[in-house]
Structure 1
């Protein structure tokens, strides 16, 4: 456990990508099985413990420290694992230091009644670094600047093979990945998946930049709408005994089929479709807010299936029957996709239509007005457009020079700062989370501010320091960790807020919910009384809202 803790500590303080890869590779090379496989699983999100949650940690520390002192410390430090690791009472000569495999086995198999005693005994035996690593393992939030892709890249370097090769076999493997390491070290064959409906690593895009247009010939690419849903992979396969297996994966490989039985029923052909999961009602794609009514559910009711009918808008075809198409160019995969969807014959699955254009100016016009460029009634569900090379194979990860996303321009509104809260981690000493509002006529006929959103990014480090000073100087009230900042017609701070979507919401006092709000500009020059009104936001609501 100490060596695993050392690795996490080094990675947390190492900013360089290649140095992180070298640290992980050295650990994997010099650490025996199954420790190294479990460490790799922790870094790639492959360890989930049903009964070990953050609430357990809070309960344990509450029994050993003053609750007020802990609340103040947690508010200052901003990280639960780090706070508890530092505050845990030291017990010299406690139990032997636990080994990583024993910890993982205990977290997996211990019951709810036994787990608190077990975790406490480990914390007693470990030093500060070890306690921090243990708690990070339990919460599943390492926050050490290591993505799953980077960890897999480090593992691939053991065998001198491309990281894409590891991605290809990854989802057929289980921790502690003994067959993977045997293959990487030349001691065994390449692992082969036997699952008839496996997840395939998705291909991602890069935001397009101004200079990219000069490097791309419009004749060499296709453009299609970027829909405002969630990226999914719909996979169906047949076992040797004839049993059909159908799964619906999120882009990270989580099977969400249980919440979408209507989609599963439609997948009656063996294959793997890459597409966007949406809600389509009365022949019109609904907002992302509507789709959220179906997400993250273990099951759905018959009423919900009728009110929020799921739909897949297909982008690509990865497998057709037993034929893997990923090495074929996009132009060929598109033809196979059109034929596959036609054979499927389900109203639940349709094709994402291409955008007709011959110049970048024409595509820019389509992006600005999707309704007039073929999106029709679905235009409000368009986030922008995708640009894809016709010769591109389907590659895992985010390869450069193949796919680009060109989002629609963000909408802007001037809001008044109302509340502020400290951030977490490096921002734990700064007020960096800001709630803002717009004006409306109150019950007494006078103007009042009503909250419409919260944002914690979009400003520079220098601006963060200025904002923190402003909050401290203009605090008029406190509600626990939240400060209420002066906000009147005459006195206050205005933010220009950029956001990508707006929907009606019963959860917010304003009745509106912004999607992806961020602070675009700090309007030190603008009086708060000149900030926008609720009517300006309501005018931006989609017609389907």
Structure 2
């Protein structure tokens, strides 16, 4: 457990991607089975310990210290696992006692995982408490991160798999294609990577294939774009999925390989093709035989659900707008050129009788200027821009430069006023980095600021420090972890916020919400009274942009 705790501690303090890869590879090389396998499961999000929930951990701490004092401590620290790790005292100890010294007989990672995994809901808290007693502060922090599943250490599942590829001299996509057939603690996988065993055979039917991603189109790329070289199609504002139906098994994956079929049983039932397609998952409404795409906010009603009601399925039917064909009736097409894959996709979609899969239409153009005009005025508000694909491109996993480009519409910008702030998580747990902002709205009592969105990225580290300093010096009210900052006509902080679109919202007092908002710059030069008004957003919403 000590080595795993040290790994997490070093990863969270290491900003460099290559340095993180080195740390991960060294850990996997030098840590024995099954500890490294359980660590791998935790890092990739494939470790589930249902016997422990955050509420149970709070209840454990409540037995040792005043709940109000803990709430203040949690608010100050900003991270639940770190707070409990710092305030925890061995049962029978007293608050204010010296920190627990480092122990030499600490439990192994596999002992922790296997014990808690075998525990019931009633036994889970007792097991966690016993392990907390046996660990130092860093070990307790790592344990709590492990059991809650919220590592937040700046390491993605893809990066972790790249570290595995590095130690075994393999391609990361080869590991990705095996992944859904593997089971923790992955002894067969490590044996193969170290040359001690055969390559594991994927037992998973309808497996995930690593997806091909596009690069943003830049100014120096424009000269490449001709109708003979590149096909154009609309970029739809849904979620990218891979739909696979092979041998009677049907699965729906996100771009990262997460199986979301349980949230879309209607789409799984309607997946009556034999193959694997790449496309955009949308929800919409029936218009005769077809389904017209709805907004992203409608799609959000269906996301992140373990179960979905029949009423919601009926009101928000899902469908797939297909982009590409990876497998057609058992034949792997990924090495064929896009032109041929598109033809095979058209044939495959035509075999579906459920009417829940259609083709993303190609966008004809004669010149780049004509294409730019279509990009600026798409036929539907749910379109984000254009996808440009070389006719001769193979389906190459990852994000190669040149074969595919995404040419998104220019973002909208608005000057808004910072109203509330909250601390972030992980590396940002000591900074106020989540910001709620608003624009002016005329009311009976005069102009007031109404919230229109929340952003937590787009700013530099230097700007983050500046905003954090402003929040601390200008807090006027506290609501649990939320800080209200001064936001008056002559006093406050104006943020230039970029966003992709707008939608109606009953959750916001303004009645609107932004799509993908991010802070593009700080307007220290601008007083809050000069920030934008709600009429600006209403006009944009009415225009369909």
TM-score by length of structure 2 reads: 0.91
Match in the other structure for 1:355: 363
Aligned pairs for 1:208-219 (under 5 A) are: 208-214=217-223, 219=228
Does residue 522 of the first structure (1) align with residue 522 of the second (2)?
A: yes
Match in the other structure for 1:251: 255
Does structure 2 retain, via aligned residues, the 8 Å contact 1:95–1:124?
Answer: no
- Of the three residues 130, 135, 141, the one matched with 1:132 is 141
Distance in 1 (alpha carbons) for counterparts of 2:201 and 2:366:
43
- Of the three residues 328, 337, 359, the one matched with 2:345 is 337
Q: How far does residue 277 in structure 1 lie from its aligned partner after superposition?
A: 0.7
Match in the other structure for 2:94: none
CA deviation string 1:339-389 (max 9, x = no partner): 101122442110011122244333222111112xxxxxxx11111122222
Match in the other structure for 1:387: 388
Instruction: Assess, with a 3 A threshold, how the Cα gap between structure 1 residues 539 and 120 changes in structure 2: closer, same or farther.
Output: same
CA deviation string 1:488-530 (max 9, x = no partner): 3343332222111211111222221111111223223333223
Instruction: Assess, with a 3 A threshold, how the Cα gap between structure 1 residues 17 and 494 changes in structure 2: closer, same or farther.
Output: closer
CA deviation string 1:287-340 (max 9, x = no partner): 000111222233333332322121110011111111111222222211110110
Q: How far does residue 214 in structure 1 lie from its aligned partner after superposition?
A: 4.4
- Of the three residues 240, 245, 267, the one matched with 1:231 is 240
Instruction: Assess, with a 3 A threshold, how the Cα gap between structure 1 residues 543 and 263 changes in structure 2: closer, same or farther.
Output: farther
Does structure 1 retain, via aligned residues, the 8 Å contact 2:276–2:325?
Answer: yes
Match in the other structure for 2:95: none
- Of the three residues 200, 212, 222, the one matched with 1:203 is 212
Match in the other structure for 2:93: none
Instruction: Assess, with a 3 A threshold, how the Cα gap between structure 1 residues 44 and 259 changes in structure 2: closer, same or farther.
Output: closer
Does structure 2 retain, via aligned residues, the 8 Å contact 1:503–1:542?
Answer: no
Distance in 1 (alpha carbons) for counterparts of 2:11 and 2:59:
29
Q: How far does residue 542 in structure 1 lie from its aligned partner after superposition?
A: 5.8
Does residue 16 of the first structure (1) align with residue 16 of the second (2)?
A: yes
Distance in 1 (alpha carbons) for counterparts of 2:24 and 2:522:
41
Does residue 277 of the first structure (1) align with residue 286 of the second (2)?
A: no
Q: Kindly report structure 1 stretches of 4+ aligned residues shifted beyond 6 Å.
A: 92-95
Distance in 2 (alpha carbons) for counterparts of 1:187 and 1:427:
41
Does structure 2 retain, via aligned residues, the 8 Å contact 1:380–1:542?
Answer: no
Instruction: Assess, with a 3 A threshold, how the Cα gap between structure 1 residues 216 and 126 changes in structure 2: closer, same or farther.
Output: farther
Does structure 2 retain, via aligned residues, the 8 Å contact 1:262–1:305?
Answer: yes
3-state SS of paired residue (2:541): coil
3-state SS of paired residue (1:507): coil
Distance in 1 (alpha carbons) for counterparts of 2:470 and 2:10:
35
Instruction: Assess, with a 3 A threshold, how the Cα gap between structure 1 residues 10 and 300 changes in structure 2: closer, same or farther.
Output: closer
Distance in 2 (alpha carbons) for counterparts of 1:32 and 1:476:
53
Instruction: Assess, with a 3 A threshold, how the Cα gap between structure 1 residues 480 and 269 changes in structure 2: closer, same or farther.
Output: closer
Does residue 312 of the first structure (1) align with residue 320 of the second (2)?
A: yes
3-state SS of paired residue (2:381): helix
**Any gaps of 5 or more consecutive residues in structure 2?**
91-99
Instruction: Assess, with a 3 A threshold, how the Cα gap between structure 1 residues 433 and 160 changes in structure 2: closer, same or farther.
Output: closer
Q: How far does residue 445 in structure 1 lie from its aligned partner after superposition?
A: 4.9
Q: How far does residue 269 in structure 1 lie from its aligned partner after superposition?
A: 2.4
Does residue 175 of the first structure (1) align with residue 175 of the second (2)?
A: no
Does structure 2 retain, via aligned residues, the 8 Å contact 1:95–1:122?
Answer: no
Match in the other structure for 2:480: 480
Q: How far does residue 471 in structure 1 lie from its aligned partner after superposition?
A: 3.2
Match in the other structure for 1:6: 6
Instruction: Assess, with a 3 A threshold, how the Cα gap between structure 1 residues 533 and 10 changes in structure 2: closer, same or farther.
Output: closer
Does structure 2 retain, via aligned residues, the 8 Å contact 1:94–1:124?
Answer: no
Distance in 2 (alpha carbons) for counterparts of 1:445 and 1:44:
52
Match in the other structure for 1:161: 170
CA deviation string 1:68-117 (max 9, x = no partner): 44333322322222222222215679995222222112232211110001
Does residue 262 of the first structure (1) align with residue 263 of the second (2)?
A: no
3-state SS of paired residue (1:194): coil
Distance in 2 (alpha carbons) for counterparts of 1:41 and 1:49:
11
Distance in 2 (alpha carbons) for counterparts of 1:253 and 1:426:
26
Does structure 1 retain, via aligned residues, the 8 Å contact 2:225–2:368?
Answer: no
Match in the other structure for 2:123: 114
Aligned pairs for 1:323-334 (under 5 A) are: 323-334=331-342
Instruction: Assess, with a 3 A threshold, how the Cα gap between structure 1 residues 154 and 115 changes in structure 2: closer, same or farther.
Output: same
Match in the other structure for 1:294: 302
Match in the other structure for 2:402: 401
Instruction: Assess, with a 3 A threshold, how the Cα gap between structure 1 residues 397 and 107 changes in structure 2: closer, same or farther.
Output: farther
Does structure 1 retain, via aligned residues, the 8 Å contact 2:295–2:382?
Answer: yes
